[in-house]
């Protein structure tokens, strides 16, 4: 699971940075950015007032068990 920030929706308010337990979200040029320290805890999308943070679904194929 990965989270993605839609920069067009992000206002840079910093609410997500306040709840991130690993301090993996930074504000850069007035927008939030998720860094490699993200542990996919899901705290940030729950608090984003703009709905700018969403779970990014992987497009990798799922292998079939035989």
Q: Is the pLDDT of residue 66 over 60?
A: no
Is 62 among the domain residues?
Answer: no
Domain containing 12 equals 2-56
| pLDDT score recorded for residue 57 | 77
Is 65 among the domain residues?
Answer: no
Is 66 among the domain residues?
Answer: no
Conformation bin of residue 51: beta by default, left when phi > 0, alpha when psi is -120 to 50: left
CATH number at residue 18: 3.30.70.20
* For range 23-27, the mean pLDDT: 97
Q: How many domains does the chain have?
A: 1
Is 61 among the domain residues?
Answer: no
Is 43 among the domain residues?
Answer: yes
> Which tens digit of pLDDT belongs to each residue from 42-61?
999 999 999 999 998 766 66
Tell the residue number behind the tokens 């839609």, with chain if given: 6
| Residue-averaged pLDDT of the chain | 90
Between strands 53-56 and 2-5, the pairing is antiparallel
Query: Does 58 or 11 have the greater pLDDT score?
Result: 11
Give the pLDDT band of residue 1 (cuts 50, 70, 90): low
């Amino acid at each position: 699971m990965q989270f993605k920030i839609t920069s067009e929706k992000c206002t840079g308010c910093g609410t997500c940075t306040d709840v991130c337990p690993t301090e993996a979200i930074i504000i850069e040029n007035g927008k939030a950015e998720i860094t490699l320290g993200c542990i996919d805890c899901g705290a940030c999308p729950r608090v984003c007032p703009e709905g700018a943070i969403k779970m990014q679904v992987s497009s990798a194929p799922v292998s079939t068990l035989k």
